Chain A
Amino acid sequence: MNSSPNRRTPTGSGVNYRNAEVERILETLHADVAILGAGGAGLRAAIALAQESPALRIALVSKVYPMRSHTCAAEGGAAGVIKGDDSLEHHFNDTVGGGDWLCDQDAVDYLVREAPRELIQLEHWGCPWSREPDGSVAVRPFGGMKKQRTWFAADKSGFHILHTLFQTSLQFPSIERYDEYYATDLIVDDGRCRGFTAIEMRSGQMKCFLARAVIIASGGAGRMFPFTTNGAIKTGDGMALAYRAGVPLKDMEFVQYHPTGLPNTGTLLTEACRGEGGVLLNRHGRRFLQDYGMGPETPLGKAVLKTMELGPRDRVSQAFWHDQRKGNMVGTQWGDCMLLDMRHLGEKKIDERLPLVRDMAISYLGVDPVTDPVPVRPVVHYMMGGIDTDIRAATPLPGLFAAGECACVSINGANRLGSNSLTELLVFGRRAALSALEFLDSSPAAGNAGVLAARAGEAQARLRELFGRSGETETVAGLRRELTTTMEEHAGIYRSGEGLAEACATLADLRRRYRSVTLHDKTNVYNTDLLQALELGCMLDCAEAVTASALARRESRGAHQRLDFTERDDANFLRHSLACYRGDEAPAIDYRDVVITRSPPGVRDYSGEQK
C-alpha cells in the first residue's frame, strides 16, 4: 500500500471525452471514473482515487444519500489482525475454513494483509473505535474466528465506518456527488464499459454518465427474500446491470442466513451478542448447538472462540433448522424461535457494548435482554456471491470494476465469517480504485460516439416503453410478493433439487410476466413506483441466477445445503459457479477452479474438543 505522499501524476487531464452525439439524446455527465454506489465500498474507492490522483474527475452516483447506504446498519465490527497473540495466518485459516474452501486463497491473503492497514487508516480519519484502557483499539470475539480480531465501535460499527468515510470524502473537491440518481443500464461499446445511464430522481430525467472506467459498489440483494436484515435499497441492482452486460454472477447460490434476527421485523441482533457471552437456548433451556457438532458446552458467559455460540453462521442456522424439525423450538406468533439469552451479562455490559441491541429488542419486540431471553430466528443477511471479479477487483469486462457486497472476489467462499465484509469493502474498495487508475493509464481510447449514443437511446427507450404500458394486470407489489415467497420456500437454509427446479420454473414465469408490469404512477418527480419496478426487475434476474446455480450445485457446502446431496463433493464442485445471462432464457451455468495456494480442503471442525 503506498501511502499518500507518493501521489501519482494526474491521469485525467487532457483527454477529450465530450461526446456531442450522446448529448443530443441525453444530458451527459463526464468523468474519468464513475462509481455506482456510495456505501462503504463506493466511498472508499472515491477517496482512494481522489488521493492518488487529485486531478481526476470522479462521479459518485447513488440512489440514496451516501449516509443512507446500508453499510450504516452493520453492527458488530470489522476483522483485522492487530493484537500480539494473533497472526495473518490465523485470519487466513479462519476465513478459508469458514468459507468451506471455496475462497480464492490468493485473495484471502490480500485481504488479511491489507486489513489492519485499512482499519488503522479509518482510525486516522477519525473513526471512533472502542478502546482499551491504555488507549489502543479494542477487539472483540466473532463467530468462526480463532482469535479476537474484530474492531468495533460499540454496536454501531458500520454506521461509524460509513459516516467517517462520508465525512472524510467531503474534503475532496474532485469527488462530484450525484445523490439520488438511480442507475439503469451499463453502456458497453467495443467490449469495454463506457459508463451508465441513470435517472435523476428529483426530475425524473434520464442522464448519461460517460466515464473511462466504472466501479460498481452497489451492495447486496437480500430483498429477494421476505424476511431479511437488509434495507429496502438492497435489491441487487448493480449485480443485475453487470449480469445483463455480459459479466457472470459468481457463486450466487451461497446466501447467508444470520442466526439471530428479531422474529417479527427481521431486525438483526449482532453476532457480538454472542461474542460478548450471550447463549442460544431451545425450548427446554438447552444450549442445543452442542447437539450439532459444536459442543461440548462452554462455561456460561465466557465465550470460547470458534465453538458453540461462536461457531460459523451457516452451522448455527443449520442447527436451528434441525432442532426445529425435532420440535424443540419455541413457538411464537411469528413462527418457531430459539432464545438468545444475555441476562447473565448484566445491565452495565449490555449498555456499554450492546446499546443498540437492547434498544431494538425493547422497541420492536418489547423484550428487554437485561431481564428476559430474546426470541430470534435465522434471517437472510448477506450474499456471498456477486459480480465476478478477480483479485484486482476487475470484472471480465474491460473498464468495469466492482467491490463490496455486490462483488464476488471471492474471499467469502461458501460462507462469510461475520466482520470480514466491512473489511472487504475497505480493502477491495481501495483496490478497485487502484485498478481503475491502472486501467486509465493503459488505455485512454474514447468510445465510438455513434454506438454510445445508440446505447443511451436504447436505455431511454426501454424506460419510455415501461411508462407507456397500460391496461396490463401485473403489479409491482404482486410480482414482488410471488418472488419473495418462492425464494423463501425453495432457496432457504435447506434446499432440494425438486424445490429448486420448481423455483426456477416460477422465476422464468415471473420474468415473463414482468414484461407486462404496469406503473400506476406516470409522473416524473421522485417516482418510487417506477424505481420499485426497476428494482424488481433486478431482483428477478438475480434470483434466477441464485436458483439456477443452486440447482446445478449437486453437493452441500457452507451456506448451500441440499437435502438430496448432503455431502461436500470436492471432486466435482470445488469450483466457483458462474451464471451467465441469456436474455429471456435461463442463465447458462459455467464453472471455474478455486485458487488454492496452500490450504487443501479439510474438515471444518467447530467442536471445542481440541481447543
Chain B
Amino acid sequence: MSQRLVELEVLRFNPETDAEPTFQRYAVECPEEWVVLDALNHIKETVDPTLSYRWSCHMAVCGSCGMMINGEPKLSCKSFLRDYEGVIRVEPLAHFPIQRDLVTVIDDFVTKLKRVKPYLVAGEARPVEAGEYRQTPAQLKTYKQYTLCINCMLCYAACPEYGLEPKFIGPAAISLAHRYNLDSRDAGREARQQEIAATEGVWECSFVGACSEVCPEHVDPAGALQQVKIKSTLDWFREHLMPWRRT
C-alpha cells in the first residue's frame, strides 16, 4: 500500500472558546487509497482528539459527512485523497451556521422538509388487507430518482439562491416534495404545491444547476425545481384564466 504525506487545513471553531474560526494544519501519513474522512479519523485518533465532525456509514448513504473540500461541497467518505494534490482545505458546509469545527446546524432544512409534507397522502384509505398498490416499473421510474436524496445538504451548500435568500425552501426539500407528487399512489400534490409556491425563492432560482452538479446520488434537484415551477405556472393559469376547468 503506497503511503503519502497528506496535509490538511481544517477549519476549527469552538463557540465556547473561540471568537472566530481559524485554520489548523495537520500533516499525516495516509495510504493513497484513503478518503478524506479516513484522514480526519486518523487525525482524531492519533493527533487531535478535539477535532469534531459528523460521520457514520462510510459508504455514502447516511448523509452525515458533507464538508467543503477545496471549496466544493463533498461527502468526505467518498472524496479520495488520490484526487487531490497539495494541501487539502476542509471546511464546514457553506450557507449553514457552524456549530463547532466541521459540524453545522441543519435545523433549517429539518423544518423545511416537514413543511413540504414528504409523505404519501392517500386518495382514499387502503386497508393492509387489500394488499399492495399496483405500480408498474414505468410508474416507479418516473419518481425513483427523487427518492434517492440522502439529505446530505451538499445542494444547499452549492445553491447560490439559498446563500442569498435563506427562506428559500431549497433543492432537497423540493425534490422530495416532487418525489411524492409524481408517485402514482399519491393524492397530495395540491397541498404540497401551495406550500412550495408560497415560499420565497422558487421563482428566483436561476437554474444554474449547481445543486444537481454536486448531488452525490444524481437526484437532479434542478430538474425537480424546473418541473415544479412549470406545474405551478400551469396551476396559476388554470386558476386565473380558465376558471371553468377547475376541479
Please give the residue numbers on chain A whose beta carbons come within 8 Å of chain B beta carbons, in ascending order.
1, 3-5, 64-65, 67-70, 72-73, 117, 120-121, 123-126, 128-137, 156, 159-160, 163, 167-168, 170-171, 179, 202, 231-233, 264-265, 267-268, 333, 356, 360, 363-364, 366, 475-477, 519-521, 523-529, 532
Beyond the given pairs A171-B119, A477-B44, A477-B49, 15 more chain A to chain B contacts, judged by CB atoms under 8 angstroms and listed by A's residue number, are A65-B110, A68-B64, A126-B119, A128-B147, A131-B137, A160-B147, A167-B113, A167-B118, A268-B59, A363-B80, A523-B17, A524-B16, A528-B53, A529-B49, A529-B50
* Residues from chain B with Cβ under 8 Å of A519 in the complex: 49
Give the docked Cα–Cα distance between A233 and B56 (Å). Answer: 6
* Chain B contact surface mostly: loop
Q: Which of B129-162 contact A (CB under 8 A)?
A: 129, 131-137, 139-140, 143-144, 147-148, 150-151
In the complex, the number of residue pairs spanning A and B with C-beta atoms less than 8 Å apart equals: 160
Identify which of B163-171, B179-187, B219-227, B228-236 touches chain A: B179-187
Known contacts A121-B128, A131-B140, A167-B119: A67-B49 contact under CB 8 Å: no
- A222 CB to closest chain B CB (Å) equals 12
* Residues from chain B with Cβ under 8 Å of A232 in the complex: 55-56, 58
Give the docked Cα–Cα distance between A3 and B59 (Å). Answer: 37
- Pick the contact of B128 from A67, A120, A134, A163 — CB < 8 Å? A120
Q: Contact check, B56 vs A264: say whether CB atoms are below 8 A apart.
A: no
Residue of A69, A73, A135, A136 with most chain B CB atoms under a 10 A cut-off: A135
The answer to the question of B208 belonging to the interface, with a C-beta cut-off of 8 Å to chain A, is: no
Residue of A117, A123, A133, A168 with most chain B CB atoms under a 10 A cut-off: A123
- B123 CB to closest chain A CB (Å) equals 12
Q: What are 11 A-B residue pairs whose CB atoms fall within 8 Å in the complex?
A: A64-B56, A65-B64, A67-B63, A68-B57, A73-B62, A133-B136, A136-B134, A163-B147, A264-B33, A523-B14, A528-B51
The answer to the question of B103 belonging to the interface, with a C-beta cut-off of 8 Å to chain A, is: yes
Nearest A-chain residue to B183, judged by Cβ: A126
Nearest A-chain residue to B134, judged by Cβ: A135
- A299 CB to closest chain B CB (Å) equals 27
Known contacts A125-B119, A231-B58: A133-B137 contact under CB 8 Å: yes
Q: Contact check, B100 vs A475: say whether CB atoms are below 8 A apart.
A: no
- Pick the contact of B49 from A5, A264, A475 — CB < 8 Å? A475
Known contacts A170-B118, A477-B46, A526-B52: A67-B133 contact under CB 8 Å: no
Q: Contact check, A124 vs B128: say whether CB atoms are below 8 A apart.
A: yes
Q: Which of B27-58 contact A (CB under 8 A)?
A: 33, 44-46, 48-58
Please give the residue numbers on chain B whose beta carbons come within 8 Å of chain A beta carbons, in ascending order.
1, 14-17, 33, 44-46, 48-59, 61-64, 78, 80, 99-101, 103, 105-106, 110, 113-114, 117-120, 122, 125-129, 131-137, 139-140, 143-144, 147-148, 150-151, 176, 180, 183, 185-186
* Residues from chain B with Cβ under 8 Å of A159 in the complex: 61, 150
Q: Contact check, A333 vs B1: say whether CB atoms are below 8 A apart.
A: yes
Q: Contact check, B99 vs A525: say whether CB atoms are below 8 A apart.
A: yes
Q: Contact check, A3 vs B127: say whether CB atoms are below 8 A apart.
A: yes
Q: Contact check, A267 vs B58: say whether CB atoms are below 8 A apart.
A: yes
Q: Contact check, A120 vs B99: say whether CB atoms are below 8 A apart.
A: no
Give the docked Cα–Cα distance between A450 and B140 (Å). Answer: 57
Q: Contact check, A73 vs B49: say whether CB atoms are below 8 A apart.
A: no
* Residues from chain B with Cβ under 8 Å of A126 in the complex: 119-120, 180, 183, 185-186
* Residues from chain B with Cβ under 8 Å of A231 in the complex: 56-58, 62
Nearest B-chain residue to A529, judged by Cβ: B49
- B110 CB to closest chain A CB (Å) equals 7
Q: Contact check, B52 vs A124: say whether CB atoms are below 8 A apart.
A: no
Give the docked Cα–Cα distance between A416 and B222 (Å). Answer: 42
* Residues from chain B with Cβ under 8 Å of A521 in the complex: 49-50
Q: Contact check, A67 vs B151: say whether CB atoms are below 8 A apart.
A: yes
- B84 CB to closest chain A CB (Å) equals 15
* Residues from chain A with Cβ under 8 Å of B129 in the complex: 3
- B50 CB to closest chain A CB (Å) equals 4
- B109 CB to closest chain A CB (Å) equals 10
Nearest B-chain residue to A123, judged by Cβ: B132
- Pick the contact of A117 from B51, B119, B120, B128 — CB < 8 Å? B128
* Residues from chain B with Cβ under 8 Å of A233 in the complex: 56
Q: Contact check, B62 vs A1: say whether CB atoms are below 8 A apart.
A: no
Q: Contact check, B59 vs A267: say whether CB atoms are below 8 A apart.
A: yes
- B101 CB to closest chain A CB (Å) equals 8
* Residues from chain B with Cβ under 8 Å of A360 in the complex: 59
- B63 CB to closest chain A CB (Å) equals 6
Q: Contact check, B58 vs A167: say whether CB atoms are below 8 A apart.
A: no
* Residues from chain A with Cβ under 8 Å of B99 in the complex: 202, 525-526
* Residues from chain B with Cβ under 8 Å of A366 in the complex: 33
Q: Contact check, B128 vs A1: say whether CB atoms are below 8 A apart.
A: yes
Q: Contact check, B59 vs A156: say whether CB atoms are below 8 A apart.
A: no
Closest 10 CB pairs of A and B: A135-B134, A126-B120, A231-B56, A477-B45, A521-B50, A520-B49, A167-B118, A526-B100, A231-B57, A68-B62
Nearest B-chain residue to A129, judged by Cβ: B132
Give the docked Cα–Cα distance between A393 and B61 (Å). Answer: 29
- Pick the contact of A525 from B16, B118, B131 — CB < 8 Å? B16
Nearest B-chain residue to A475, judged by Cβ: B49
* Residues from chain B with Cβ under 8 Å of A5 in the complex: 125
- A67 CB to closest chain B CB (Å) equals 5
- B40 CB to closest chain A CB (Å) equals 11
- Pick the contact of A125 from B57, B63, B120, B136 — CB < 8 Å? B120
* Residues from chain B with Cβ under 8 Å of A156 in the complex: 61, 148
Give the docked Cα–Cα distance between A123 and B131 (Å). Answer: 9
* Residues from chain A with Cβ under 8 Å of B183 in the complex: 126
* Residues from chain B with Cβ under 8 Å of A264 in the complex: 33
* Residues from chain A with Cβ under 8 Å of B57 in the complex: 68, 70, 72-73, 231
Nearest B-chain residue to A169, judged by Cβ: B119
- B181 CB to closest chain A CB (Å) equals 12
Known contacts A123-B133, A360-B59, A523-B17: A130-B140 contact under CB 8 Å: yes
Known contacts A167-B119, A170-B119: A120-B56 contact under CB 8 Å: no
Give the docked Cα–Cα distance between A380 and B100 (Å). Answer: 33
Give the docked Cα–Cα distance between A397 and B212 (Å). Answer: 50
- A125 CB to closest chain B CB (Å) equals 6
* Residues from chain B with Cβ under 8 Å of A129 in the complex: 132
Give the docked Cα–Cα distance between A112 and B12 (Å). Answer: 51
* Residues from chain B with Cβ under 8 Å of A65 in the complex: 64, 106, 110, 151
Residue of B113, B119, B126 with most chain A CB atoms under a 10 A cut-off: B119
Give the docked Cα–Cα distance between A64 and B63 (Å). Answer: 11
- A180 CB to closest chain B CB (Å) equals 9
* Residues from chain B with Cβ under 8 Å of A333 in the complex: 1
- B79 CB to closest chain A CB (Å) equals 10
Residue of A70, A132, A364, A520 with most chain B CB atoms under a 10 A cut-off: A364
Q: Contact check, B120 vs A520: say whether CB atoms are below 8 A apart.
A: no
Give the docked Cα–Cα distance between A521 and B148 (Å). Answer: 37
Give the docked Cα–Cα distance between A156 and B145 (Å). Answer: 12
Known contacts A171-B117, A526-B100: A135-B49 contact under CB 8 Å: no
Nearest B-chain residue to A234, judged by Cβ: B56
Give the docked Cα–Cα distance between A217 and B61 (Å). Answer: 20
- B175 CB to closest chain A CB (Å) equals 12
Residue of A124, A125, A159, A168 with most chain B CB atoms under a 10 A cut-off: A124
* Residues from chain A with Cβ under 8 Å of B78 in the complex: 363
* Residues from chain A with Cβ under 8 Å of B140 in the complex: 128, 130-131
* Residues from chain A with Cβ under 8 Å of B147 in the complex: 128, 160, 163
Give the docked Cα–Cα distance between A27 and B105 (Å). Answer: 22
Nearest B-chain residue to A268, judged by Cβ: B59
- A2 CB to closest chain B CB (Å) equals 10
Q: Contact check, B114 vs A170: say whether CB atoms are below 8 A apart.
A: yes
Residue of B45, B57, B63, B105 with most chain A CB atoms under a 10 A cut-off: B57
* Residues from chain B with Cβ under 8 Å of A528 in the complex: 44, 51-53
Nearest B-chain residue to A232, judged by Cβ: B56
